[in-house]
Amino acid sequence: MGVQGDYARLIGRELATVRDQLLAYPDTASIWALPPGLPNSAGTLALHIAGNLRWFIGTQLGGGTYVRDREAEFSSRNIERDELVRVVEAAADEVTRALAMLDDDRLDQPFPLEVGGARLPIGRFVAHLAVHLGYHLGQIDYHRRIVTGVNKSLGALAPSALADR
Is the pLDDT at 80 greater than 80? The verdict is: yes
What is the average pLDDT value for the chain, to the nearest integer? Answer: 93
Per-residue pLDDT tens digits for 108-145? 999 999 999 999 999 999 999 999 999 999 999 999 99
CA distances from 12 to 5, 76, 95, 96, 122 (A): 10, 24, 8, 7, 18
pLDDT grade for 161, boundaries at 50, 70 and 90: low
Helix pair angle (3-24, 42-53), 10° resolution: 160
Q: Which is more confidently placed, 6 or 85?
A: 85
Q: What is the CATH number of the domain that holds 10?
A: 1.20.120.450
- Residues recorded for the chain: 165
Per-residue pLDDT tens digits for 54-65? 999 999 999 999
Let me know if residue 74 belongs to a domain: yes
User: pTM (2 decimals)?
Assistant: 0.93
Number of domains in the chain: 1
Helix, strand, coil proportions of the chain in percent (round to 5)? 65, 0, 35
Average pLDDT value for residue range 137-160: 88
CA distances from 131 to 7, 53, 69, 136 (A): 11, 12, 21, 9
Let me know if residue 97 belongs to a domain: yes
Let me know if residue 165 belongs to a domain: no
Let me know if residue 164 belongs to a domain: no
Q: How far apart are CA 22 and CA 36, in angstroms?
A: 20
Let me know if residue 163 belongs to a domain: no
Domain that holds residue 55: 3-158
Let me know if residue 33 belongs to a domain: yes
